Amino acid sequence: MKVHEVLTRNPACCYPSSSALTAATIMQQRGIGVLPVVQDPFTPRLVGVVTDRDLCLHVVAGGRDPANVWIRECMNEDPICCAVEDDVRYALELMEEHRVRRLPVLNAKHEVAGILSLSDLVGKGSISSCEIVTALQTIREPIHGITEPTEMVTAA
């Protein structure tokens, strides 16, 4: 099965010149956690991605005003992607290897054709539930030296 058969088409996007506030608002309104960053409204070439985690760590935790932080300052400029003609198993391998739950999907012109998420793969004929669970377990494993917090820290 090919990625183009299961991807989510026409994803919301933002631009390097968009504010963090704009990106966060789009994410809130759409109930999503990632936005492809495209060159500009007329050129849908992928130049990066920004996640809700990026906004939290680079803007909120830094005490910065999201209306005055540009996406180019907090986006990932080298996102892991797949192509519309890639096999879904290859895309799942990419997700597992790079510990991501979503991939921008690009066409031959390097334009955003959609987003592929683990949930897009659930229930599809060529990937079993066990394979999805295994991938999710790998994705959730702590990265070398970085562990998940085990207790809540409160301010005194």
What is the pairing mode between strands 34-40 and 8-9?
unpaired
Cβ atoms 69, 79 nearer than 8 A: no
Instruction: Let me know if residue 133 belongs to a domain.
Output: yes
Above 60 in pLDDT, residue 27?
yes
Considering its fold, how many domains does the chain have in total?
A: 1
Cα 70 from Cα 15, distance rounded (Å): 9
pTM of the model: 0.81
In a domain, 97, yes or no: yes
Residue 148 inside a domain? The answer is: no
- Give the C-alpha separation, 75 to 36, whole Å: 9
**pLDDT for the residue numbered 144:** 53
- Domain assignment present for 117: yes
Q: Quick one: pLDDT at residue 54?
A: 95
**Terminal Cα-to-Cα distance of the chain (whole angstroms):** 54
Q: Write the DSSP symbol of residue 101.
A: S
153 occurs within a structural domain? no
Tell me the average pLDDT of the chain. 87
* Residue 19, phi then psi, degrees to nearest 5: -80, 155
Where does the pLDDT of residue 150 fall: very low under 50, low under 70, confident under 90, or very high at 90 and above? very low
- In which band, very low, low, confident or very high, does the pLDDT at 153 lie, cut at 50, 70 and 90? very low
CATH number at residue 78: 3.10.580.10
Q: Which of 11-25, 33-47, 80-94, 118-132 has the lowest mean pLDDT?
A: 118-132
Range of the domain at 50: 3-140
- Rounded CA separation 29/32 (Å): 8
116 lies in some domain: yes
Question: Once rounded to an integer, what is the mean pLDDT over residues 130-153?
Answer: 61
The pLDDT, as a whole number, for residue 67 is 97
Query: Is 150 contained in some domain?
Result: no
Is the confidence at residue 133, as pLDDT, over 90?
no
Which one, of 126, 50, 137, 54, lies nearest residue 91 by Cα?
Answer: 126
pLDDT in tens, 62-102: 999 999 999 999 999 999 999 999 999 999 999 999 999 89
- Per the listing, tokens 């198993």 go with 89
Sort residue 31 into left (φ over 0), alpha (ψ -120 to 50) or beta.
left
